[in-house]
Amino acid sequence: MLTHIKALTFGGFFAALASLALPVVPAAASGPDTISYTVVPNDTLYDIARRYLVSDESALRVQRFNAVRNPRRLSIDRTLLIPRELLRHQPVELRVAAFSGPVAIGGNAPIIGSILSEGAIVETGRNGFISFAGGFGGRISLPSNTTARLIKARRYVLGDTLDVDFAVSRGRANATSPALEGQDRLRMRTPVAVTAVRGTQFRVAYDPETGDSSLTEVTEGEVQVAAGGQERAAPAGFGVSSSASGVSEPEELLPSPEFRDPGAVQTSETLNFAIEPVAGAAGYRVQLARDAGFLDVVTEQMINTEAATIPSIENGRYFVRARSISQSGLEGSSESYSFLRKRVGVAAAAGSSPDYDGFNFSWIPEGGENASFAFQMWLEADSGTLLVDEIGLDTRQVILTDLAPGKYVWRVAASETDPQEGLIKVWGPAQTLIVSQ
């Protein structure tokens, strides 16, 4: 019978349907997995099925779902609830916008501009990051140590309705959504909670190793979080914890930490950032990115002090931000700061000069390719008087002769000019030289 029905036209299909004397099924409450349709004059279930449904069987399910007795006679302004899975749709593109470090999509390395398909699993390793830009104007970013799967990314023909559904099974996800219209939906879920938005910025987190709970943090707009049979709203500046027992009361997020001199040029081998302590913080997440929106994250570090030391990165303009982590694990708000990474420095040493009756002070530049150098020397007992003060050197050594006995202090600087920062000058550590009789 089912095979025969599939071959019928819509009119024949519903005629056969009427002959089956189907039992009436009560209409379900409008929920997140249905889209409502309001009947207009001259509508029949045949017309609705032709325009919006994926198959004849789908039309049968809609009739039963809404207890429609006569598919040819529908009351004007009646609301029909249609399960989303039965609706015709077009894919919504989620393209790889940026990534760095160990990242895999379906076990393969990502490609900039490639489209994330429904069902694809995305994994980021330690210091791995990836961001997706959506054709609907939103974006989704996954930081390090995260596993997530795209469940849906589609637009239904009915109402041109957006439906994006992302599942995080481990780690964190950051989402930005434009203002949604009508019955548009963007959801982020974990194994214990579902977070739905209407146009906002929020984050979700889930760590199966630390307990069966999920975190939602809202930085803009408002979200609805459902878990354990409960649903609760979380406004901007608040977060909630969810578990199988329900959703917690909203907790105010900690304020953005302030950096000490965040715009300082980072010239040393490692990058060093110091932040002012935030009351109530158990730790901090510090992130570096190539863009102010942190779509292209380079690295991050979790710290439980107010100092972060980041391994060396390439020269360039970067952005840094930090979030305070509360005792409950919720991460607070953040502000981004621009800084220049310009590796400039020298490694210097002193030795005797075999060709002269004196000493050879030599150095090797560290990082700067177009650096010039400066050399200074003074007696330790008279630090206010420079015996040697050479600037603009393009050589990598200085030979001094006829030094009187005494204890000398000397140092070397490397200098480079940046188009925006101007002259950048970095002195190496001061060293001592004892000249005896």
Give the pLDDT band of residue 46 (cuts 50, 70, 90): confident
In the β-sheet with 346-353, what is the strand arrangement from edge to edge?
Answer: 346-353, 358-365, 397-401
Q: Which two tokens stand for residue 230?
A: 């409960």
| DSSP 8-state assignment for residue 3 | H
pLDDT for 179? 86
The one-letter amino acid code at 283 reads G
Other Cβ atoms less than 10 A from the Cβ of 224: the count is 17
Other Cβ atoms less than 10 A from the Cβ of 21: the count is 6
Report whether 323 contacts 302 (CB < 8 A): no
Give the pLDDT band of residue 234 (cuts 50, 70, 90): very high
As a whole number, mean pLDDT of residues 31-38 equals 81
Other Cβ atoms less than 10 A from the Cβ of 279: the count is 7
Q: Which two tokens stand for residue 393?
A: 């050197």
pLDDT for 22? 33
Report whether 130 contacts 122 (CB < 8 A): yes
The percentage of the chain sitting over the pLDDT mark of 90, rounded to a whole number, equals 80
pLDDT for 32? 52
Report whether 2 contacts 17 (CB < 8 A): no
pLDDT for 419? 86
pLDDT for 31? 41
pLDDT for 56? 75
Residue 30 has pLDDT above 60, yes or no: no
Residue with tokens 């214990």: 192
pLDDT tens digits, residue range 117-169?
999 999 999 999 999 999 899 999 999 999 999 999 999 999 999 999 999 99
As a whole number, mean pLDDT of residues 207-227 equals 91
pLDDT tens digits, residue range 334-350?
999 999 999 999 999 99
pLDDT tens digits, residue range 78-111?
999 999 999 999 999 999 999 999 999 999 999 9
Residue of 371, 287, 366 lying closest to 323 (CA atoms): 287
Give the pLDDT band of residue 14 (cuts 50, 70, 90): very low
- SS3 category, 358: strand
pLDDT for 394? 92
Residue 7 has pLDDT above 50, yes or no: no
As a whole number, mean pLDDT of residues 73-82 equals 93
pLDDT for 19? 34
Residue with tokens 């959703």: 247
pLDDT for 338? 96
Report whether 189 contacts 168 (CB < 8 A): yes
As a whole number, mean pLDDT of residues 67-80 equals 92
pLDDT for 418? 87
Which of 83-97, 165-179, 222-236, 348-362 is predicted with the least confidence, judged by mean pLDDT? 348-362
CA 393 remoteness from chain centre: 45
Residue 17 has pLDDT above 90, yes or no: no
As a whole number, mean pLDDT of residues 260-286 equals 95
Helix, strand, coil shares of the chain, percent, nearest 5, are 10, 50, 40
Give the pLDDT band of residue 291 (cuts 50, 70, 90): very high
- SS3 category, 135: coil
Residue 302 has pLDDT above 60, yes or no: yes
As a whole number, mean pLDDT of residues 206-219 equals 89
The larger pLDDT score, comparing residue 58 to residue 142, is at 142
Other Cβ atoms less than 10 A from the Cβ of 122: the count is 25
Which of 10-14, 156-160, 229-233, 386-390 is predicted with the least confidence, judged by mean pLDDT? 10-14
* Spatial distance between the Cα atoms of 166 and 177, rounded to a whole number of angstroms: 13
Helices 10-19, 56-65: crossing angle, 10 deg rounding: 50
* Spatial distance between the Cα atoms of 189 and 15, rounded to a whole number of angstroms: 41
Q: Is the pTM of this model over 0.85?
A: no
Q: Which two tokens stand for residue 251?
A: 């907790």
The DSSP bridge partners found for residue 399 are 360
